[in-house]
Structures are given as structure tokens and as C-alpha cells.
Amino acid sequence: MSNLNVQTTQTNRLGNDLTPEMKTYYDRALIRFASPKLVHAQFGQQKPIPQGNGKTIEFRRFSPLPKALVPLSEGVTPKGNTLNVTTVESTVEQYGDYVTLSDMLTLTSVDAVISETQAVLGDQAGRTLDTVIREKISAGTNVQYGDGKADRSLLVGGNADGENDYLTVAAVKRAVATLKRNNATPFKDGCYVAIIHPDVANDLTNDPEWKAIKQNVDPEDWYQGTIGKIHGVVFVESTEAKIFRANPLRNPETLTSGDPNVLTIAKVEGKVLTLCEEVLESDSTYLNGASININGFDYTVAGFTAGPAGDATITLSENPDATVAAGSAIYASGTGKDGRAVYSTLFLGQNAYGVTSVEGGGLTTILKQKGSAGTGDPLDQRSTVGWKATQTAEILSPEFMVRVETTSSY
């Protein structure tokens, strides 16, 4: 009974009449819950968002000066040099969400509803803002594929013969060599940082060379999620690391049979491919204009005809390669061979990209007490807990980051 009274009292205190102390507490709590998810944010150049200065953030990059190889003449002042400043502008966007709590839930729940809700929202805020940053910085053009493949669509995974494009120590060494060659500045103790997915970390740590020379690091001295370092790279594990997955080619909600990510060719007549699977009108959202891959070649779907298996067709925007024949599988473009998921491991030096500062950018808790909506809540039945934040990121020096794309044994 005492717990119920505490919860009721707490709920009545929340809303528009929050004291500054309470507001600060809940804001800090939200940041605390969100911060562990902000893996991609911690390695970028921080740029606070000043209030009242518009929505555009300007990042600045100073180009290095050339070597001064001309000897000085006695008593003669040299001409000197000028700084070359490159600006990169990015427009911040606002993100947020909220949860509505009923008065009955607040009154009868055995948990501290507001605190638990804020923990869930903090997790959501962290993953949301981290994804915003990840998508921006995963668009870099400095890319290496597996152990030397030429393109993402050639990456292989799941082969029984062991010839798979999983992340290896050899690939790590190539990425490090690229960063060093580009004069990328390391982070702590002269080490670069790599953001790695747990699936990929499993493959890398199974490499015999990793087991032979991997060095442990003290998590208190490094970053949350650190799993070890090798060849001057500290690896930080995150489930939010970028994965390039196949988009569905058919609507999963109306699918009657088969895999929504794969189609099979029954017959080829010029640009028209007859399919072994049923295609419905509801699949138009997925097929029309889709970029597909057949036998390693990318095509665009110019149109399709719905119908049962053996009658449904898709029309390509161009004639297919001679290797495209009956039995060939169709996958969405942008993945590995045969639609295999491709994982990104980002190798980073300092100042590779810039991000807005979370605390400076206004990650805020917003609480509205029941009844605060006036006639919109005439019986004082609803309160809400939400968050709102501004965020952006931008690649500043693409040569200071390397995206290594591989498959995974998972």
C-alpha cells in the first residue's frame, strides 16, 4: 500500500509544474539511459548547437600546410602562408517520441512507471540518434571489401569450403595501413578505433592471428563496448553497426509461400522475365523501380505483371546479361552474393566526421501531468512522458575513415 501512495504522489508532481530540480533530474536520467547507445557519436568532432542561430551547423576543416622547404635568407622576411579552411554545412533535424500513461496504470502498477518508461524512452532515443549518425557516416567512399574483393555484390558467406569473406586480421592491417597512409590522427595511446558488430567480432576473434596477438584493454581507460585491440586498433562492439540487408521483393504481409527476398526466373524473353513465384498487386510497392541483382549484375525493374507462379513477370529496364537464364535467382541489389547480408566495420581516426553534441543539442525529457491538456483530457485520465532532440552528423575528412565490408558466419 505504501508503494502505491509513493507512485501516486510522484505522478501528481510531474508535468508542467516540474521544479527545475526535478526537470534536471529527469533530463540527466534520459541522457544516462541514452548515452550507452550513442556509440557512433563518441568518436566524432563535437559541435554544440547554439540557441537562436538557425538550423544549419557549420563544421570547419583546416587543410595542412605544405612543407616549407625553401631556406630562409638572412634578414629577409619570407612571404608566409595562408590558412585554407573548408566548411561543411549540415542542417539539424528534430526527433522525438512519447508514451501515454493512463491514470489506472499509474495508480495500480507495482513499478515506478515514470522511471521505467523513461528508461525505455532513453533506450529508444539513444538508438534513434545513433542511427541518424551511423547512416550519415556510413556513406563514405573510402571502402574496402573483405580480403580484396572488388565490389559488395561479390562478397561470399556461408560456403562450406571456407572461402568466405569474413573479417580477418589481414583485412584489419590493410585498413590501418590506409589510415596511416592518409595521415589520420589516432585516438588514445596512438590507437585507431573500429566500430564492429558482434556477429563480425565473433568471426574476427576466431582468427588464429587475433588469438595469438590480441591485447586486452582496461574498459575503464577506453570506451564502452571495447573488446580488445590489435595492430593499433581498439575494437568497440555495437549491435548498431551498419548492416546492408536485402530489401523484400514481395510484400511479406500478403506472401502466400516462399522467401520475400528472393525470386526465381522461369523463362527469359528479352527484357521480360517470367517468374516461378506468384506475384500480387500488393507487391507493386516493393517491385516497381526496385534495384535487383541477378548473377552479379544490377538491373532496375521497369514494370511487372501480377499473376500466379509461371505467369507473373517483371520487365527490366535493359536486356539482361547472357548468364541470366531459367533457374537464376533474383535478389535485391546492395547486398553480398546471393543476397547475403553485408556488415560494415568502421575504422576511424580523429576528425573523420562531426556530430552535434547531445547535451548541447537539447536531448530533453518532456513530461505532461494528467489533466494538463484541459478539455482534451476532461477526466484527468492521461499523462505523457516523451523525449525530443536535435541531431545531425557529417563526414569531414573521408580519408580519415575506412569502411570495411564483410559477410559473417551468422
Helix 113-137 with 2-13: angle, nearest 10 deg: 50
In sequence order, which residues have a C-beta less than 8 Å from that of residue 248 and are 6 or more positions away? 260, 261, 286, 332
In sequence order, which residues have a C-beta less than 8 Å from that of residue 100 and are 6 or more positions away? 382, 383, 384
| Residue 408 · residue 336 · CB < 8 Å | no
First-to-last alpha carbon distance for the chain, in angstroms, is 49
Helix, strand and coil percent figures for the chain, each rounded to 5 = 30, 30, 45
List of domains in the chain: 2-64+83-138+353-391 (3.30.2400), 154-242+340-352+399-406 (3.30.2320), 263-334 (2.40.10)
Q: How far apart are CA 147 and CA 169, in angstroms?
A: 10
- Give the predicted TM-score (pTM) of the model: 0.79
Which amino acid, residue 111? D
Q: Residue 162: left (phi > 0), alpha (psi -120 to 50), or beta?
A: left
| Residue 330 · residue 262 · CB < 8 Å | yes
Which amino acid, residue 94? Q
DSSP label of 248: P
Q: Take residue 226 and report the three cell numbers written for it.
A: 571495447
Q: How far apart are CA 239 and CA 261, in angstroms?
A: 23
Mean pLDDT by 10 residues, the chain (410 residues): 29 43 55 70 78 68 78 87 78 85 55 72 86 92 90 87 89 96 91 95 91 66 80 92 92 89 95 95 92 92 94 95 94 90 96 75 73 72 82 89 94
> Residue 307: its pLDDT value, please?
94
Beta strands in 80-165 (DSSP E): 85-91, 93-102, 143-145
> pLDDT digit string (tens) for 164-199?
999 999 999 999 999 999 999 999 888 999 999 999
> Residue 1: its pLDDT value, please?
31
> Residue 380: its pLDDT value, please?
74
Q: How far apart are CA 196 and CA 39, in angstroms?
A: 10
